[in-house]
Amino acid sequence: MKKLKRFLTIFLVAFIFSCNIVKAQDATREFISKRPSKESANVHFSYVKNGKRIREDTILIITSKENKDLYAYCIDMYKKYPSYDGTEYKLGELSSNIDRNKLNKVFVNGFPVVSPEMLSRKSGLDEKNYYSLEEAYAVTQLALWHYTEANRDIIKFSVEEDIADKRILQGVKYLIGKAEENKEESLITFQYNKDTINKAAFEKEGFNYFGPIKVHGDIERAEEIKINLLSKNATLVYGNGEAVGDTVIIDREFYVKTPKSNKISNIDIDISTNLTSYIEKYYEPFNESIQDILVAERVNTGFKDKLYINMLLPQTGNIFSSQSILGIGILMIGLGAVIIKKHR
């Protein structure tokens, strides 16, 4: 009898656990499951506001119909939290009062697009104070709440009033600052000195080296970067003379190498890669008393860019130097005097 009871107990526990991650069967439905935090003692976004518990010590994972586990974030914080046994959701429409562009910028600069370590560095934390995965998730959740909850009539969320932990607050302010920026930064860029690029940086064994040039970018979000030099009679090399090859190392300086006997007319470089990004999808529950969620879904997009420099023209300032302009002026005056003299 004891063995039977033990067997039934084990079977029941296994059955309940299996219900925590429910797979979607209906194409129109998704299911939410909660993954308890490994650091369950003190995750900083668990607090009480107006006598109501707003957030529990967990990370939300949505298991999609494609069986993908996706990080999910809550909005409508005054509603009930999704349950352990799987809450059914459907794709919905985000309120027009919420700035979707700013939400996307929070996603792009927050977790899981960037790792906890990278988010910590960008937020200005010392290495010993880096965020855990749970804390990086919390920072992103709080920054999202800044845009989804700040103007609600029921429970208003205030970054300054509701975030007591200074480390967490530092990261939230960083994400809000990135969301408020007007400029759109490219994830991959060429960097070089425009004033000197058309002059050889140094000469060695019958070759001129132009540069340095480097490809700067987000290492975590870029696959290998393919590079192709289209300029004739030239090659790409790193500072130690090693050939760059078909791919380039991010943030490592390289040069355009060309024989001294060859006058290079342009630098023409193509790069391409695949970038990892995340888009936010809005889900609403079939039960309207439960919180709505935003899901960060991973996407891969192709990226291409070109560096083209006309080496025969100065890269900054006027096309002609001040001395050239003075010489041209004197020549024009001389020609004018000759023309006037002939017509007398």
Domain that holds residue 220: 188-276+303-310
236 falls within a domain: yes
CATH code at 212?
A: 2.60.40
pLDDT in tens, the chain (344 residues): 544 444 434 433 333 333 333 333 333 444 444 444 433 333 333 333 444 444 445 677 766 666 667 788 888 777 776 654 456 777 777 776 778 888 888 988 898 888 899 999 999 999 999 998 888 988 998 898 888 876 665 556 666 666 777 888 899 999 999 998 876 666 788 999 988 898 999 999 999 999 999 998 766 666 788 999 999 889 999 999 999 999 988 889 999 999 998 888 899 999 998 877 777 778 887 777 777 888 877 777 888 889 998 887 665 544 343 344 445 555 556 555 555 555 55
117 falls within a domain: no
259 falls within a domain: yes
Would you say the C-alpha torsion 87, 155, 137, 280 has a positive or negative sign?
A: positive
Q: Are 75 and 145 in contact (CB under 8 A)?
A: yes
323 falls within a domain: no
What is the 3 state secondary structure string of 39-101? CCCCCCCCCEECCEECCCCEEEEEECCCCCEEEEEEECCCCECCCCCCEEEEECCCCCCCCHH
Task: Give the total number of structural domains in the chain.
Answer: 1
257 falls within a domain: yes
